Amino acid sequence: MRPFMVSLIAAAAFSAHAWAQQAPLKTTPQIQQAIVAGNWQELAELTAAWQEREPQSLLASYLAAEAYFRLGQPSRALRVWGPMFDALYRDPASVAPLAVWGRELVSQHPRVPAVWSILSNTLWLTGDYEGAVGAAQRAVLLDPDDPHAYSNRAWAYYQAGDYDQAVADLTTAIKLKPGFAEAHYGRAQAHAATGDLEAAFKDYERALELVPDYGEAYYARGLLHLNDRDLDQAIADFTRAIELEPWFAWFYYDRATAYYRKKAYDRAAEDFARAVEIYPWDAWGWFHKGRACRQAGRTQEAIDAFRQFMELAPERGMAWRIPEARALLRELGAGE
């Protein structure tokens, strides 16, 4: 499975024709050798050096995360995904060259299971969920005893909306590799998607027992509590996620949402402010900061936030919400 937040922000529709003609990215022969040999520790070291040289490289970010997932370090994997999250949030189409690179990789090494899993991941990142399932299926057929092959196929099924099959694959992965924290975490997500919250909470608990610093697991469990209206538990989980991963805007955003629902508007405003400090191009964040500041009586901050939202809204596809922002500005005595 891959980071849950990716599924929240990579929802844009893609066409194969949108990316098929783009030139593939390049890796060094040493990096490609490490992938083909399944030497994930070497890949982690090589990509760490690459990220130092090119901190915004999407391919370096992706491969570093892949290495740490394979090494059983999901929290570290999440930390090196920063450039990927930024790219997906700013412009989902910017990740398209990854799939071109993935196809080139499997054309060179068609008998290596991990290469097909990597292609699967690059395909769902570009929105080709059917292709992602097909590539993941090849990985499973080439090595039916590899728990990571099932975990990757489960994520492809999850993205395609086949949650029952995702649960089945993750159950197989856990049988093959007891103590597979990422598989428990992924199965929790799939259970939640099917509405089986009891099973989801149980798997989150197990993932956190196995990896106590699994910030994203706290965050995802917090979302379940938030949706279940258990606001105090949601805030507790979001707070722990923030302690572990303080650089992710979504953690602040959703804790702010929980505070807002509790009518703790000052705290909500502070968390929305932190979220837009991290992602200043997030129009929704500015809008919700404005709402929280308005409720908290922080009039000028609310005015500034709504104005910032109106500047960003057209390019973020949110122009339809501008009339509401204008009405709120008039209510705050700021006109338009």
Note the pLDDT of residue 68: 95
**Mean pLDDT to the nearest integer, 283-290:** 96
Give 104's pLDDT tier (boundaries 50, 70, 90). very high
Q: What is the mean pLDDT of the chain?
A: 90
CB 59 within 8 A of CB 27: yes
Note the pLDDT of residue 336: 58
Give 11's pLDDT tier (boundaries 50, 70, 90). very low
Q: Which residue has the higher pLDDT, 4 or 313?
A: 313
Give 78's pLDDT tier (boundaries 50, 70, 90). confident
> Residues 180-204: pLDDT tens digits?
999 999 999 999 999 999 999 999 9
Each as own residue / partner, the long-range contacts of residues 188-196 (CB below 8 Å, 24 or more positions apart, any chain) are 188/217, 188/220, 188/221, 189/1, 189/4, 189/158, 189/220, 190/154, 190/158, 190/163, 190/166, 191/167, 192/220, 192/224, 193/158, 193/163, 193/166, 194/163, 194/164, 194/167
Q: Give CA–CA dist 143/151, Å, rounded.
A: 13
CATH classification code of 271-336: 1.25.40.10
CB 301 within 8 A of CB 288: no
Q: Give CA–CA dist 312/55, Å, rounded.
A: 26
Fold of 1-148+155-160: 1.25.40
**Mean pLDDT to the nearest integer, 113-140:** 95
> Residues 206-236: pLDDT tens digits?
999 999 999 999 999 999 999 988 999 999 9
Percent of the chain residues topping a pLDDT of 90 = 77
In what helix (H) or strand (E) does residue 265 lie, and over which residues does it extend? Answer: helix 265-278
Note the pLDDT of residue 18: 37
Give the count of beta carbons closer than 10 Å to the beta carbon of residue 41: 12
Residue range(s) occupied by CATH 1.25.40.10 in the chain: 271-336
